[in-house]
Structure 1
């Protein structure tokens, strides 16, 4: 079968690899769509970062390996000991490998497992025609949720988890910094939670237009004094939650200037370079920075339920490409800002 194999920075090859077969407790999935994540871009241009160069403690794998951790598909085969799943079932995959033994895992917070791994970063992933996953990674898709949306459950769950951590009240005000896929997902999640006053802060005119077409209200930080706007809109209280999905210093500084007293800035970005945090703002405001990593099964099920209810829309910001075009029309186009979200279709 064909797969996009990561060998190192600037080297992802489309190769013929053996078709995997499920072992005990595993399921083989024929991949319908696999999204290219910002993490994949970091690995391609600046890695290896998360891709191990020595055997991973949970998976035993290291580079080279097949990329892809945002995917949906159809069950193609079930291994020994698997119950409740059958060939033909449509699924989204929650790609976390966890140890189940460390303190976070024992507390139910396996998304911060001390030996965490990701299918497609620490094991052969979904940027291929078929992949094999442990059965605990499967989430069933309702008939109303397309396989295209199913491939977006993973990034939308990243956003939903972060939105939940911010705890904004339904009548409150929230700001999202960055209108990439996670920023768009935050807007969907916050709206799905019932918030009306959500603003997306984005300097790119193209990205503002894309999220505006979905119904979002946007602010251009190159044209608007965002902290002053927020102060005026909230009668001086500040935002009830701000979310950094941009991962750059100007966004963090502006976000911290907008957050209300004793309220959080939730960081859901990957920072390529160290940031200097203006701690005085936090001290004087008794506000805080809240980290957000991944998701749990509850976030997956919440996102799938919102998709079933029609909350999410892919119009204008999601594109499909063939596996052979993963570098030119995927990594390069996303890195250059020509596209917002790309789904790789291995069947094309």
Structure 2
């Protein structure tokens, strides 16, 4: 079968690799769509970062790796001992490997497992025609949720988990910094939780227009004193929940200037450079920074339910490409900022024919 194989920085090849078969407790999935994640970009341009160069303790795999951890598909085969899954089922994959015995796992917080692994980073993943996953990664898709949306369940669950950690109430004012895929996901999640007063802060005109087309209210930090605007908007109280999905110093500083007393700024970004955090502002305001990592099955279930209700829309920010276009139409286009989110269809050939 054909797959996108990562060998190291700037080296991903579309290669023929053996088609996997499911073992005990495993499910073989014919991949429908696989999203290219910001983590994939970091690995391609600056890795290996998370991709192991020695056998991973949970998966036993190491470089080279078939990429892909944001994906959906159709069950092609079921291994022994698997129940509740049948050939032909349409599914989204929750790609986390967890040890089950560390402190976080025992407490039910397996998303911060001490040995956490990702299907498609620490094991061969979904940027291929077929992949094999453990039964506990399977989430069924309702009939009215497309495989395109199914491939977005993973990043949207990242955003939903972060939105939940901010503990927003329906009448709260929330701020989202960054209108990339996770920022868009935060807006969807907060709206799904019933919030009307959600503002997205984004300096890029292109990204602002994309999320405005979905119905969002945006603020341009290059043309507006955002903290002053929020103070005026809230009669000096500040925002009830602030989310950083941008991952740069300027966004963090501005976000912290918007946080209300004893309220959180939830960080759900990857920070490429060290940050200088004005802790005195946190002290004087009794506000806090809350980290957010991944998701749990509850977040997946919540996102899939909202998708079934029609709360998510791919219009204007999602593109689909073939496996042969992964480098030029995927990594390079995303890196250049000409596309926002790319879904790879492994069943489509270079000519666009199935």
The equivalent of 1:185 in structure 2 is 185
The equivalent of 1:69 in structure 2 is 69
Equivalent-residue separation in structure 2 for 1:291 and 1:56 (angstroms): 25
User: For each residue in 1:127-149, what CA deviation from the matched residue of structure 2 results, as whole angstroms up to 9, or x when unmatched?
Assistant: 00000000000000000100000
The equivalent of 1:108 in structure 2 is 108
- Residue 272 in structure 1 maps to residue 272 in structure 2: yes
- Residue 2 in structure 1 maps to residue 2 in structure 2: yes
The equivalent of 2:168 in structure 1 is 168
How far the C-alpha of 1:84 sits from its partner, in A, is 1.3
Equivalent-residue separation in structure 1 for 2:231 and 2:26 (angstroms): 53
- Residue 18 in structure 1 maps to residue 18 in structure 2: yes
The equivalent of 2:86 in structure 1 is 86
How far the C-alpha of 1:290 sits from its partner, in A, is 0.2
How far the C-alpha of 1:273 sits from its partner, in A, is 1.0
How far the C-alpha of 1:237 sits from its partner, in A, is 0.2
Alignment of 1:108-187 (within 5 A): 108-187=108-187
1:284 aligned counterpart, secondary structure: helix
Equivalent-residue separation in structure 2 for 1:207 and 1:347 (angstroms): 30
The equivalent of 1:208 in structure 2 is 208
Equivalent-residue separation in structure 2 for 1:299 and 1:139 (angstroms): 11
User: For each residue in 1:291-331, what CA deviation from the matched residue of structure 2 results, as whole angstroms up to 9, or x when unmatched?
Assistant: 00000000000000000000000000000000011011101
The equivalent of 1:199 in structure 2 is 199
User: For each residue in 1:225-284, what CA deviation from the matched residue of structure 2 results, as whole angstroms up to 9, or x when unmatched?
Assistant: 100110000000000010000000000000000000000000000111111111111111
Equivalent-residue separation in structure 2 for 1:313 and 1:275 (angstroms): 33
Aligned-residue CA RMSD in angstroms?
0.4
User: For each residue in 1:94-132, what CA deviation from the matched residue of structure 2 results, as whole angstroms up to 9, or x when unmatched?
Assistant: 000000010100110000000000000000000000000
TM-score (norm. length: structure 2)? 0.98
- Residue 335 in structure 1 maps to residue 296 in structure 2: no
The equivalent of 1:257 in structure 2 is 257
Equivalent-residue separation in structure 2 for 1:293 and 1:172 (angstroms): 23
2:55 aligned counterpart, secondary structure: coil
Equivalent-residue separation in structure 2 for 1:214 and 1:257 (angstroms): 27
Equivalent-residue separation in structure 1 for 2:50 and 2:283 (angstroms): 33
1:258 aligned counterpart, secondary structure: coil
How far the C-alpha of 1:66 sits from its partner, in A, is 0.2
Equivalent-residue separation in structure 2 for 1:224 and 1:32 (angstroms): 42
The equivalent of 1:344 in structure 2 is 344
How far the C-alpha of 1:27 sits from its partner, in A, is 0.3
- Residue 298 in structure 1 maps to residue 298 in structure 2: yes
Equivalent-residue separation in structure 2 for 1:327 and 1:175 (angstroms): 34
Which blocks of at least 5 consecutive residues in structure 1 are unaligned? Answer: none
Moved over 2 A (4+): none
Equivalent-residue separation in structure 2 for 1:145 and 1:139 (angstroms): 12
TM-score (norm. length: structure 1)? 1.00
The equivalent of 1:322 in structure 2 is 322
How far the C-alpha of 1:347 sits from its partner, in A, is 1.1
2:252 aligned counterpart, secondary structure: helix
Equivalent-residue separation in structure 1 for 2:112 and 2:181 (angstroms): 22
The equivalent of 2:229 in structure 1 is 229
How far the C-alpha of 1:169 sits from its partner, in A, is 1.6
Equivalent-residue separation in structure 2 for 1:215 and 1:152 (angstroms): 19
The equivalent of 2:39 in structure 1 is 39
Aligned residue pairs total 348
